[in-house]
């Protein structure tokens, strides 16, 4: 009795559940310490201590009806104001309270902005490989996801290739940098080239095309790499942010959208985003945690932990002969499978108790994603298995 | 640049915003103590102290990566287990962990179950007057809301009238008891009569028709009134619950769905509800508050406060000559307007600084909704204005 649309999704999700169940079985059979699960993008570092203190402070000092009550569907005004100011300080932008809409994580924010702008039949583009959920989010509103295949060895967006896929039906482009699954941070040059194509196409077609910048990994960058703030490169840019990774709060479902004043039809856009938040059933981002994160805007989880994992795994894998794109951000490695069929390669890896995700789940066949948001200890224990895997293909 | 579907909604929401802004202006002009705002269904009682203690206990005693992390999309298993057991104890049901899906409030839960079962073109019924958002929720999935007009003076569902509106396209019926906006609690007799019609229609059409029982007001009943637990009267019943009113936590967005094992295609239904939770962008109900409410299942806000308001206002209004349906639950009075046009009546009330909501917003023209989740003091101050309003129509 489930809907037609859900049938395929349920079948797909059963496959993932089956994988997950098998991982648990393997742990029971071989001992948890002998199974190396690199499949999940679940933060492994704890939230900063400041988060706990902030929650308690809100509980102790503020009016409980305010702390746990309804507010404007777009969030508490004081919280939105603090976030706008924090962004302005960091990125030299000029956002105000009205530009911020608090959301139920980045996933909630993406759904809100898609509901706001999409007409059934529209196309929404993204760059492959991409976070597989985009397809579902876009389909929720009757639009079609159009992935641009990767052409560059460094997995930067290729503006010339991109242009070939833009059509009069293109309503938006989802850009995800630092990228899941590649770990690549898009350069300013890449962003500018994509923005130039879009500006030209907006003029040609006579309607707006939005960039939706999905930024849950913004704070997870290593070395001196800069992540360009996309509103500065293209007028019709909406940013979706989440505290899931930066504060290790993925279960709390807290993030925000930035809808800059310069986007076309700003007043309608911001009103519609508020209405979309309400009617999609979010109503508002969870209240207590809104107030708590506002006290933690300068905090972030200890990313040195991820950085050590990144170096350890990247150096080992490349030493064993794996080809891996240089990972500047997020907590993923994007590694070329040692045979054409990434699913067959993942099956071989599993024989060595290595749980990886096939690239085809991200629209990137021939690769695998390795999530290194795990314990350093597990990585160390897993290395002989990776070496053996490489040796199997020699 | 907003979508076609959002344009009408934004226009509608501007009217409500304009009302809200005007209320604020009136408060500034006449003094907040001289404006009587009965328009919002926002709990006025504080959450039980146990909620604050529970949150702190979770923060102090549990692993922060668990407390703030991802869990199964349907929620923490231990939380779901405690809720199932609590329901079984209260309602003599036999739910298990697998029957409970934690949701982002009741609004989130309704969207999840609608996404789970609705095909575009389906019809979803409800009894007028009804919570206006149902129309939007149903429309999110391409279905049409079919309200059954009220025929009874006591605003109980009329099964004979109901039957006239059931068609082969009917996929579900949303039942909301205690009811917003009438405050009426549907009797066991009413429920049985509606269930009998549905069972007959299921057999006639050869497919399932679901009851979706929307129960945010379940704990808000006065006197010895019983609210029947609908899964006991009809097999294909899904319950949507929220802690927004019972624990005064509307901003926290926490509730659950009950999908009983006996519903048709249970395994698919429960899997699809998990997937719907994920792909609609909820991902999961907020984590910390999930764990906290699990410690407060026997708590509720002090409903004596609402009960006193209810009696005070109901007695005064009926004394002044208003006709009002007997309010056994929720925190609303449903009062007959003193002229045919409820919007004109609301405008006259506003001249006396009484802010009411026209019944036509709930598909119930000729009436107004008065939300008494306000301070007793405000009600007392407002009574002369209500008396004057009645006198204006003599």
Phi and psi at A156, nearest 5°, equal -75, 155
List Cβ neighbours of B351 (8 Å cut-off, separation of 6 or more): none
Q: What fold characterizes domain B49-293?
A: 3.40.640
Q: Can you tell me the distance from the alpha carbon of A174 to that of A194, in angstroms, rounded to the nearest whole number? A: 12
The answer to whether the beta carbons of residues A182 and A371 sit under 8 Å apart is no
Residues of B in contact with A140 (CB under 8 A): 279-280
Question: Does A56 sit within 8 Å of B251, measured CB to CB?
Answer: no
The angle formed by the CA atoms of residues B138, B141 and B142, to the nearest 5 degrees, is 90
- A273 and B2 in contact (C-beta within 8 Å)? no
Q: Can you give B108-163 as a three-state secondary structure string? A: HHHHHHHHHHCCCCCEEEEECCCCCHHHHHHHCCCCEEEEECCCCCCCCCCHHHHH
Q: Which of B76, B252, B64 has the alpha carbon at shortest distance from A301?
A: B64
- Check whether A16 has a pLDDT greater than 90: no
So what's the ipTM on this one? 0.96
Please check the confidence at residue A234 and state whether its pLDDT lies above 90. yes
Q: Are strands B144-148 and A367-371 parallel, antiparallel or unpaired?
A: unpaired
Q: What's residue B369's pLDDT?
A: 96
Chain B residue with CA closest to A172: the answer is B1
The distance of B71 to chain A (nearest Cα, Å) reads 7
Q: Which residue of B has its CA nearest to A7?
A: B272
Confidence of residue A43 (pLDDT cuts 50, 70, 90): very high
Interstrand relation of A237-242 and A210-214 (parallel, antiparallel or unpaired)? parallel
Please judge whether A250 and B70 are an interchain contact, meaning their C-beta atoms are less than 8 angstroms apart. yes
> Shortest CB distance from A107 goes to which of B109, B276, B281?
B281
Cβ–Cβ gap B265/A6 under 8 Å: no
pLDDT at residue B18, rounded to an integer? 76
Assess contact for B287 and A251: CB atoms under 8 A.
Answer: yes
Nearest CA-CA partner of B201 in B123, B307, B137, B258: B123
Query: Is it the case that residue A391 has pLDDT exceeding 90?
Result: yes
Q: Give per-residue pLDDT as tens, A183-208.
A: 999 999 999 999 999 999 999 999 99
- CB-based contact B174:B125 (threshold 8 Å): yes
Which of A70, A71, A119 comes nearest B3 by C-beta?
A: A119
The H or E element containing residue B102 is: strand B100-103
Closest chain A residue to the Cα of B14, Cα to Cα: A271
Give A-chain residues touching B265 at CB under 8 angstroms: 1-2
Mark A309-329 as b/e (b = at least 16 C-beta within 10 Å): bbeebbebbeeeebebbebbb
Contacts of B71 in chain A (CB under 8 A): 251
Widest pairwise Cα distance in chain B: 66
Give helix B376-392 / helix B303-319 axis angle, nearest 10°: 20
- A17-26, A69-78, A141-150, A253-262: which range is least confident on average? A17-26
CB contact under 8 A, B287 and A136: no
Q: How far is CA B263 from CA B104, B208, B211, B380, in A?
A: 22, 9, 10, 48
Inter-residue contact B353 to B385 (CB < 8 Å)? yes
The distance of A164 to chain B (nearest Cα, Å) reads 24
Look up the CATH number of domain B4-47+301-392: 3.90.1150.10
Are residues B71 and B283 in contact, defined by beta-carbon separation less than 8 angstroms?
Answer: no
Taking residues A109-120, what's their average pLDDT? 98
What residues in A contact B3, CB-CB < 8 Å?
115-119, 141, 272
Per the CB < 8 Å rule, is B284 touching A69?
no
* Contact assignment for B251 to A276 by CB distance below 8 Å: no
Partners of A43 on chain B (C-beta within 8 Å) are 65, 69
Write the pLDDT tens digit of every residue in A136-154. 999 999 999 999 999 999 9
Q: What is the pTM of this model?
A: 0.97
Region A12-35 average pLDDT: 84
A64 contacts in chain B (CB < 8 Å): 46-47, 51-52, 248
Instruction: Read off the pLDDT of each residue in A242-263 and give the average, rounded to a whole number.
Output: 98
pLDDT over 80 (residue A18): no
Q: Which residue among B4, B116, B250 sits closest to A6, beta carbon to beta carbon? A: B116
Radius of gyration in angstroms for the set of CA atoms belonging to chain B, rounded to a whole number = 21
Residue A124's beta-bridge partner residues?
A145, A172
- Chain position carrying tokens 């308690």: A56
Nearest C-alpha neighbor of A116 from the set A127, A103, A126: A103
* A117, A251, A287 member nearest B68 (Cβ): A251
Closest residue of B to A247, CA-based? B68
Cα–Cα distance between A150 and A192 in angstroms, integer?
A: 18
- Evaluate if residue A378 carries a pLDDT over 80: yes
> If you measure CA to CA, which chain B residue comes closest to A264?
B1
Taking contacts as CB-CB distances below 8 angstroms, the residues of chain B near A1 are: 117, 207-208, 210, 236, 263-265, 268-269
Among chain A residues, CA nearest to B172? A1
State the pLDDT at residue A376.
97
The CA dihedral of B372, B368, B150, B360, to the nearest 10 degrees, is -130
A-B interface: how many C-beta pairs under 8 angstroms? 241
Report the pLDDT value the prediction gives residue B40, as an integer from 0 to 100: 86
Please list the ranges in chain B whose pLDDT falls under 70.
16
Cβ-contact A357, A39 below 8 angstroms = yes
Closest residue, chain B, to A133 (C-alpha): B279
CA of B134: which chain A residue's CA is closest? A279
The alpha carbon dihedral of B61, B67, B72, B74 has a sign of positive
How far, in whole angstroms, is CA B226 from its chain's centroid? 17
DSSP structure string for A148-184: EPP-STT----HHHHHHH--TTEEEEEE-SSPTTT-P
Which residue carries 């899931």 as its tokens?
A: A244
Q: Strands (DSSP E) along A189-270, which ranges?
A: 210-214, 237-242, 255-258
What distance in Å separates the CA atoms of residue A158 and residue A336, rounded to the nearest whole number?
19
Which residues of chain A have a CB within 8 Å of the CB of B274?
13
Q: What is the pLDDT of residue B23?
A: 83
DSSP B343-393: HHHHHHHHHTTEE-EEGGGGT-TTEEEEE--S-HHHHHHHHHHHHHHHHHT
> How far does A31 lie from chain B, in Å, by closest CA?
22
Token duo for residue A271: 């009103």
B74: closest CA of chain A, how far (Å): 12
What is the DSSP annotation of A304-333?
Answer: HHHHHHHHHHHHHHHHTT--B----BTTEE
CATH 3.90.1150.10 residue window(s) in chain B: 4-47+301-392
Give CA separation, A82 vs A148, A289, A318, B99, B144, in Å.
37, 14, 43, 41, 41
pLDDT at A216 over 80: yes
pLDDT for position B22 = 81
């Amino acid at each position: 009795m489930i809907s037609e649309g859900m049938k395929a999704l349920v079948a797909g999700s059963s496959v993932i559940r089956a994988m997950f169940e098998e991982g648990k079985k393997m742990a029971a059979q071989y001992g948890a310490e002998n199974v190396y699960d690199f499949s999940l993008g679940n933060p492994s570092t704890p939230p900063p201590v400041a988060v706990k203190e902030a929650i308690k402070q809100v509980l102790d000092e503020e009016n409980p009806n305010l702390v746990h009550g309804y507010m404007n569907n777009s969030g508490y005004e004081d919280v939105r104001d603090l976030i706008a100011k924090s962004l302005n300080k960091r990125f030299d932008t000029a956002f105000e309270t009205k530009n911020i809409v608090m959301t139920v994580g980045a996933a909630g924010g993406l759904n809100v902005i898609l509901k706001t702008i999409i007409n059934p039949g529209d196309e929404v583009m993204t760059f492959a490989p991409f976070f597989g959920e985009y397809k579902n989010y876009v389909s929720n509103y009757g639009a079609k996801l159009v992935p641009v295949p990767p052409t560059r060895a460094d997995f930067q967006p290729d503006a010339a290739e991109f242009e070939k896929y833009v059509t009069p039906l293109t309503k938006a482009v989802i850009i995800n940098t630092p990228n899941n699954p590649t770990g690549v941070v898009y350069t300013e040059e890449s962003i500018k080239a994509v923005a130039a194509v879009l500006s030209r196409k907006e003029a040609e077609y006579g309607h707006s095309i939005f960039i939706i910048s999905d930024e849950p990994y913004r704070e997870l960058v290593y070395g001196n790499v800069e992540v360009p703030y996309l509103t500065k490169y293209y007028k019709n840019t909406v940013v979706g942010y989440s505290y899931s990774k930066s504060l290790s709060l993925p279960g709390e479902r807290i993030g925000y959208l930035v809808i800059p004043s310069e986007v076309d039809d700003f007043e309608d856009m911001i009103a519609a985003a508020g209405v979309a938040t309400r009617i999609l059933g979010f109503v508002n981002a969870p209240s207590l945690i809104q107030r708590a994160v506002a006290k933690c805007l300068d905090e972030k989880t200890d990313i040195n932990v991820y950085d050590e994992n990144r170096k350890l795994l990247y150096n080992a894998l490349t030493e064993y002969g794996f080809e891996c794109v240089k990972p500047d951000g997020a907590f993923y490695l994007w590694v070329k499978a040692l045979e054409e069929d990434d699913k067959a390669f993942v099956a071989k890896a599993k024989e060595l108790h290595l749980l990886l995700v096939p690239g085809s789940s991200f629209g990137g066949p021939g690769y695998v994603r390795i999530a290194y948001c795990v314990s350093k200890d597990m990585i160390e224990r897993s290395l002989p298995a990776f070496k053996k895997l490489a040796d199997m293909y020699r």
